[in-house]
Amino acid sequence: MSKTGCDEGGGNISEESPEKSPSERIEPLVLVKLGEKVRPETKRWLIRLIGAPQKDGGAALLVHPGEDATGDIIMVSAPRCTLLQATEELGLCKTYNTGEMETFSYDDRDNFRYSDNMEMFLTLAERQYIIKYELEGLRARRDVRIPGLDDKYTLQHRDNIWQKLTAAGVVVDTFPLHSKAKLKELSKSWYAGNQLSQPLDSVNAYFGSAVGFYFSFLDFYTWSLIPPALLGLFITYFSSEVQKEAMEAVAGSQAEIHEEDSGLSVSGHMIQAVFSMLWSTVFIELWKRRSSSTSYRWGTLHLAERFSEPRPAFHGHLGMNPVTGRMEPLFPEWQRDLRMALVSIPVVGLFLGMVILGMLCFYWGENQVMWLHEEWDSVVSQTLLYAPSVLHIVYTNVLATVYKTVAQSLTEFENHREESAFQNHLTAKVLVFTFFNYFAVLFHIAFVKQDVPLLRKRLASLLIVTQLVNQVTEVVVPFLVDHFVSAPHRKESEDDPQEDKFRNQSKLPVFPGLFAEYIELLVQFGYLSLFSCVYPLTAVLLLINNVMEIRSDAYKICKLFRKPFSAPVANMGVWQIAFEILSFVAVVSNCWLLTLSPQLQRMRHEGQMSSADIMVIAVMAEHVLIIVKVIVAALIPDEPGWVQKKRAHMQYKSMQALRQQNLPSEES
């Protein structure tokens, strides 16, 4: 029943009213770039396929073939009917006429607000994603030869057409088009002025919920840094005051001041450590609440990805899906688990081992050249001093590049049914590796070398250097490139045909995804929560960095890249788990670092406490803090009460509907 009532199909935009340019009548949403050698008959076939009704195996979209039939672009838009059906299929929530958000139902469309005006009803990002969804979901109904192509590209029954066309070089690129007017409006309210808050709903509307969630998290995280930053400032100011006093009172009893200072410093560290451990829990829990209410507002609380078609690259034996009762490829769960256990995990472990190996070789090499230098002390040996660092950097970078490709193929091999599962597994793999890469050295210093001053020095320099490098690479360089290198090449005049402007967008680089942005935040959060007690100003530096980061990230995504497709998502996915795990590791790390604090070590040397006593205290503190964290996390519900009620109401309604559905004619 899901496909009834919409079978008139999409058709050709230009066919219907040839006298108007496409952009004046229906805004093209997605541009499909074809290969240069594509024959006109192939293009015609493709246009017909995209426009054909879904009952005939088409995508029921609106197509404009560009200025002429031989051009290498196709512009695609979507008619109301296709959009509404896809909205139901994706499980998006929309405003009902009561003002509440309800999962959209095609049969009940007239009771949803704005359901006659697609520009109001769906966001730009949603409409563009639906087009991608329909195009990539195209499957051959029977064996078909594609006109103008080799026989080896003949479509078999249920072949994914878009994948085949990409493999054959017919489709080179598919990307959503920027809307200049909306983009201008968005950038004005986002990063052009001095505003403190971001227009998150507009970001979601323009870029989709994945990007929206990133900026919402960045926003929340930045403002959450204020309490630890204030505490850090306070502690730094106070302990330097004490130090100054100590200097001034140098004539007085040395021992007394010494003791006072050490006492304060220990307690300062402890306050900092305990505070940051509890802060991180409250932060994560409150973010979950904000995330779920954001998800409600953006209509992604009840996504139905599990119940829709599997992602295009998913393969398996054709069979009946036991959940939906549809025929589709099936792949047994145990086989995926087996592949993960026997292939993915060992391979990831191997790469992590290679990171450690690299680090050990680096330390070994450094010792060797130091020794050599001491022995010979020549120019050659002085140059050699840099060799281990250089080699280690090269090794690390090569390893990271190789790993990314390997992670991609491993995740493909795991054959996930849903796009979100695929993304989460891929992210998790890269995340573990990257995180390990960043923190292996710091952990080594903290736990093996047990050298707190070095850790403090390293942390401070990392924080400052990373920030400078980031700001330069993220904002300054792209801005310069954009202004002086790229811009002249794609200068546009008002007189250019609209189509050329669209075509120009394909010259922008592809948006690299949010991975780098998220990992930056995670690494920051790691510095802050794992090692904050050795360097109290961490939060201050991060706060300054993030206020700028918001602007630079916004500028980047708006100006410097093609618009990305963005699937509707209900939360940050695996990133949220990563932040949560980190906040637990933080407790262990902080408690350990406190045992290494110089004051405690001195007490140990002076015989006031045995090292076993210190250990017992640290372990007890750790256990208490972890229990407190678990309890706090359990006590703060993950969803605000009103979202819980909406969810329960939804379940109640579906239960009622299920009870009534079987005998609709019996209703009295």
Considering only 23, 95, 105, 466, the residue that binds a second copy (CB under 8 A) is 105
Rg (CA), the chain: 29
Considering only 98, 194, 253, 668, the residue that binds a second copy (CB under 8 A) is 668
Q: Nearest distance from residue 543's CB to a second copy, in Å?
A: 32
Subset of 17-46 contacting a second copy (CB under 8 A): none
Q: Nearest distance from residue 324's CB to a second copy, in Å?
A: 6
641 contacts a second copy (rule: CB under 8 A): yes
**Tokens representing 79?**
């008619």
Subset of 330-349 contacting a second copy (CB under 8 A): 333-334
Nearer to a second copy, 66 or 91 (CB): 91
Q: Nearest distance from residue 105's CB to a second copy, in Å?
A: 4
Subset of 488-527 contacting a second copy (CB under 8 A): none
Q: Nearest distance from residue 489's CB to a second copy, in Å?
A: 50
Considering only 3, 4, 195, 386, the residue that binds a second copy (CB under 8 A) is 4
How far apart (Å, rounded) are the C-alpha atoms in residues 136 and 139?
8
Phi-psi region of 60 (alpha: psi -120 to 50; beta: other; left: phi over 0): left
Considering only 33, 139, 290, 306, the residue that binds a second copy (CB under 8 A) is 306
Q: Are 582 and 529 in contact (CB under 8 A)?
A: yes
φ, ψ for residue 369 (rounded to 5)?
Answer: -70, -35
Q: Nearest distance from residue 655's CB to a second copy, in Å?
A: 6
Nearer to a second copy, 516 or 619 (CB): 619
Q: Nearest distance from residue 308's CB to a second copy, in Å?
A: 10
How far apart (Å, rounded) are the C-alpha atoms in residues 562 and 570?
24
Q: Going by DSSP bridges, is the β-strand pair 62-64/11-12 parallel, antiparallel, or unpaired?
A: parallel
667 contacts a second copy (rule: CB under 8 A): yes
Residue type, 323: V
Q: Nearest distance from residue 108's CB to a second copy, in Å?
A: 4
Q: Nearest distance from residue 623's CB to a second copy, in Å?
A: 7
Residues in contact with a second copy, counted by CB under 8 A, come to a total of 49
Q: Nearest distance from residue 411's CB to a second copy, in Å?
A: 18
Q: Residue 358: helix, strand or coil by DSSP?
A: helix
Q: Nearest distance from residue 327's CB to a second copy, in Å?
A: 15
Nearer to a second copy, 108 or 261 (CB): 108
Nearer to a second copy, 420 or 467 (CB): 420
657 contacts a second copy (rule: CB under 8 A): yes
DSSP string, 372-412: HHHHH--HHHHHHTTHHHHHHHHHHHHHHHHHHHHHHHHHH
How far apart (Å, rounded) are the C-alpha atoms in residues 416 and 403?
20
Subset of 550-589 contacting a second copy (CB under 8 A): 588
Show Cβ contacts of residue 157 under 8 Å, excluding neighbours closer than 6 positions: 140, 141, 142, 143
Contact stretch for a second copy (CB under 8 A) within 38-46, 303-311, 372-380, 405-413: 303-311
Q: Are 583 and 280 in contact (CB under 8 A)?
A: yes
Considering only 7, 27, 108, 261, the residue that binds a second copy (CB under 8 A) is 108
Tell the residue number behind the tokens 């409600």, with chain if given.
296
367 contacts a second copy (rule: CB under 8 A): no
Show Cβ contacts of residue 462 under 8 Å, excluding neighbours closer than 6 positions: 527
Nearer to a second copy, 80 or 306 (CB): 306
136 contacts a second copy (rule: CB under 8 A): no
Q: Nearest distance from residue 510's CB to a second copy, in Å?
A: 35
How far apart (Å, rounded) are the C-alpha atoms in residues 661 and 638?
33
Considering only 240, 324, 335, 461, the residue that binds a second copy (CB under 8 A) is 324
**Tokens representing 387?**
């060799």
How far apart (Å, rounded) are the C-alpha atoms in residues 30 and 128?
6
How far apart (Å, rounded) are the C-alpha atoms in residues 80 and 23?
17
Contact stretch for a second copy (CB under 8 A) within 101-109, 276-284, 367-375, 422-430: 101-109
φ, ψ for residue 75 (rounded to 5)?
Answer: -110, 135
Contact stretch for a second copy (CB under 8 A) within 30-38, 253-261, 378-386, 654-662: 654-662
Considering only 69, 226, 230, 304, the residue that binds a second copy (CB under 8 A) is 304
Nearer to a second copy, 539 or 582 (CB): 582
User: What CA dihedral angle connects 490, 493, 496 and 498, to 10 degrees?
Assistant: 80
Show the DSSP H helices in 137-225 as ranges: 161-167, 180-187, 200-207, 209-224
661 contacts a second copy (rule: CB under 8 A): yes
648 contacts a second copy (rule: CB under 8 A): yes
106 contacts a second copy (rule: CB under 8 A): yes
Give residue 504's Cα distance to chain centre: 27
Type and span of the H or E element at 634: helix 611-635
**Tokens representing 427?**
């992210």
How far apart (Å, rounded) are the C-alpha atoms in residues 221 and 182?
27
Subset of 601-630 contacting a second copy (CB under 8 A): 610-612, 614-616, 619, 623
Residue type, 316: G
Q: Are 570 and 212 in contact (CB under 8 A)?
A: no
Residue 248, classified by CB atoms within 10 Å of its CB into exposed (0-12), middle (13-18) or buried (19+), is: exposed
Q: Nearest distance from residue 272's CB to a second copy, in Å?
A: 22
How far apart (Å, rounded) are the C-alpha atoms in residues 256 and 399?
54
Contact stretch for a second copy (CB under 8 A) within 206-214, 304-312, 358-366, 393-401: 304-312
448 contacts a second copy (rule: CB under 8 A): no
Residue 380, classified by CB atoms within 10 Å of its CB into exposed (0-12), middle (13-18) or buried (19+), is: exposed
Contact stretch for a second copy (CB under 8 A) within 191-199, 300-308, 370-378, 551-559: 300-308
320 contacts a second copy (rule: CB under 8 A): no
666 contacts a second copy (rule: CB under 8 A): yes
> Binding marks (x or -) toward a second copy, 70..99, rule CB under 8 A?
------------------x--x--------
* Best CA proximity match to 126, nearest among 3, 30, 46: 30
Contact stretch for a second copy (CB under 8 A) within 20-28, 170-178, 488-496, 644-652: 644-652
Report the interhelical angle of 611-635 vs 254-297 (nearest 10°): 20
Considering only 1, 255, 448, 485, the residue that binds a second copy (CB under 8 A) is 1
Angle (CA) 440-616-629 rounded to 5° is: 65
Q: Is the torsion defined by CA of 453, 456, 461, 464 positive or negative? A: negative
Nearer to a second copy, 83 or 155 (CB): 83
103 contacts a second copy (rule: CB under 8 A): yes
Considering only 18, 193, 322, 607, the residue that binds a second copy (CB under 8 A) is 322
Nearer to a second copy, 151 or 666 (CB): 666
| Interaction site with a second copy (CB under 8 A) | 1, 4, 88, 91, 103, 105-108, 111, 304, 306-307, 322-324, 333-334, 588, 610-612, 614-616, 619, 623, 641, 645, 648-649, 651-668
